[in-house]
Structure 1
Amino acid sequence: MSDYKTKEKQYQFMVEMLEQQGSVTMTCRPSVMWRQDPKLLGFTLARHKFVAKMLTGYSRVLEVGCGDAFASRLLHPEVEELHAIDFDPVFIEEAVKHKEPDWPVNLAVHDILSGPYTIEGDLFDAAFSLDVIEHIPPEQEQNYLKNISSSLKPGGVFICGCPSLESQVYASPASKEGHINCKSGNDLKKLLSQYFEHTFLFGMNDEVLHTGFAPMCHYLFILAVGNKR
């Protein structure tokens, strides 16, 4: 039992949990965000929260382009099984290093442009990919979507999120360097409609999700249902 006692007893468990489990050490990306611009953490977590709520109850889910998977943890209470992939071994190594026993995410290095991702031939019920398509060369975007669609069971769900084309006038130089394929809301919806029967467009400004005027959205989501195989 800790010698430290909180003024209000309902908070005492926090002190005891800290003594038992230690402080959380953040991975590379959230650490940099926290030091350079903490509000970016809020935006990133809000995007993953939307995905988590949309996919609540799904059995097997694939995250394409997880980075170091720090925000992937929001899926933990909502889905039965999460598989997270990224093409960069550095970020997957970082994610593995910080993985905790109570967070059963399956991590792997895989470039989705090289082909679909399955687990010994088993397909996924749903997939999502946030902040990825804007990094995909335009000539490869069809390959990107084809391989994600082919990783899903018939009737599967896919959520795609990315900064809007209109937002790029406000983007930092570092962001602009990597953002080679941003789209307007209508263009993103039209693209995903080639691979899914139904597509629904949402916008996000900061951490606020809405269905407002697409050209005024800083961030875009497409909720796509029913992959065309």
Structure 2
Amino acid sequence: MSVFDDPRHFGWLWAATYDGPGNPDPTAAVAFLGDLAADGPVLELAIGTGRVALPLAARGTAVEGVEASPEMVHKMRAKPGGDAIPVAIGDMADVPVTGPYRMAYLVFNTLFNLVKAERQADCFRNVARVLVSGGAFVIEAFVPDPADFDRNEQVQPWSVTEDSAAIRLHRYDREAQTFLRQTVTFDGTGVHLHPFAMRYMWPQQIDELAEHAGFRLAERYADWDRTPFGPDSTSHISVYRLG
């Protein structure tokens, strides 16, 4: 059994540092989602530490969440407003809530954290189960660039300080559309491993997945500011409607 079969795995490794530098500013995402959802209720899959959910709730939208990692939720609860958001602890592919919701959303490439095609399909099917007719499912994801994985394996330096050094290694399976990334850190306490994996998809493949679950693509943009999506776009915000 792979460690990536356990949805709690990501939180075990990353919750302690998840709110550090590197996460996107949520302002544009919150404005986009708030305009779409009005007063809600809405569901965030993989709500994490509340980066998007907390400012969205502060706008007046009723937000609920699903999160596999109790460690992530604990960090959210410690923030202003974090105690007011209901969160179901469980696998986002199972969508362990009843709804109904006007909108669900899954941001920051997190759909790809489901590393098996059948679990990605489960996610769409279960979101459809808890949305109202005509409800929206919003996906934020990168557009894969084959130049990023022109070799089966890649090694790159990651960080060097007086006290530690880290490297990142990638192994790609282009047929399965997956990659395994291992961040190896050497410091005074030993060697530390932080594995991470994704199953990436092109936008057209996500469209097909959505269609099989009863959704239709209603809108697509290159970013949260509604920049038109085009052949050179490196990311997309896709809004699917149920029915």
What is the Cα deviation at residue 48 of structure 1?
3.7
Instruction: Read off the aligned partner of 2:239 and give its amino acid letter.
Output: L
Higher strand share: 2
TM-score normalized with structure 1 length: 0.68
Question: Is structure 2 residue 169 aligned with structure 1 residue 153?
Answer: no
**Residue 23 of structure 1 aligns with which residue?**
none
Match of 2:105 among 104, 128, 131: 128
2:86 aligned partner: 106
3-state DSSP of counterpart to 1:98: coil
Aligned amino acid, residue 226 of structure 1: L
Structure 1 residue aligned with 2:48:
67
Q: CA deviation at 1:141?
A: 1.1
Secondary structure of the residue aligned to 1:114 is: coil
- Which residue in the other structure is 2:152 paired with? none
Q: Would you say how many aligned residue pairs link Structure 1 and Structure 2? A: 186
Contact 1:48–1:75 (CA under 8 A) maintained in structure 2: yes
| Map of 1:54 onto structure 2 | 36
Query: What are the Cα deviations for residues 141-189 of structure 1, in whole angstroms up to 9, with x where unaligned?
Result: 1111111111212222111111221288299858963452222222222
Q: Deviations over 1:43-66 (max 9, x none)?
A: x443343222322x2431111111
> Is the Cα contact below 8 Å between 1:28 and 1:68 reproduced in 2?
no
Q: 1:133 corresponds to which letter in structure 2?
A: L
Per-residue CA deviation, residues 124-157 of structure 1 (Å, 9 max, x unaligned), is: 1211111321111223111111111112122221
Tell me, in whole angstroms, the C-alpha distance in 1 between the residues paired with 2:119 and 2:233: 25
| 2: CA distance, partners of 1:89 / 1:148 | 21
1:83-103 alpha-carbon deviations (Å, 9 max, x no partner):
0221111101111122438x8
- Taking only aligned residues, the RMSD between alpha carbons, in angstroms, comes to 3.0
The answer on 1:96 being equivalent to 2:77 is yes
Tell me the equivalent position of 1:9.
none
Flag the structure with higher helix content: 1
Unaligned runs of 5+ in 2: 1-15, 150-155, 159-167, 171-178, 182-195
Name which of 184, 196, 201 aligns with 2:220: 201
Cα distance in 1 between the residues matched to 2:229 and 2:125: 29
Of 143, 148, 156, which aligns to 1:164? 143
Query: Could you tell me whether the CA contact under 8 Å between 2:131 and 2:242 is conserved in 1?
Result: no
**Structure 2-normalised TM-score?**
0.65
Counterpart CA distance in 2 for 1:77 and 1:213 is 33
Identity %: 11
Moved over 6 A (4+): none
Partner of 1:188: 206
Q: Distance in 2 between matches of 1:116 and 1:168?
A: 37
Change (3 A) 1:78 1:98: closer
Please tell me whether the aligned partners of residues 96 and 107 of structure 1 are also in contact (alpha carbons under 8 angstroms): no
Name which of 83, 100, 120 aligns with 1:141.
Answer: 120
5+ residue gaps in structure 1? 1-26
Q: Which sits farther off after the overlay, 190-199 or 216-225?
A: 190-199
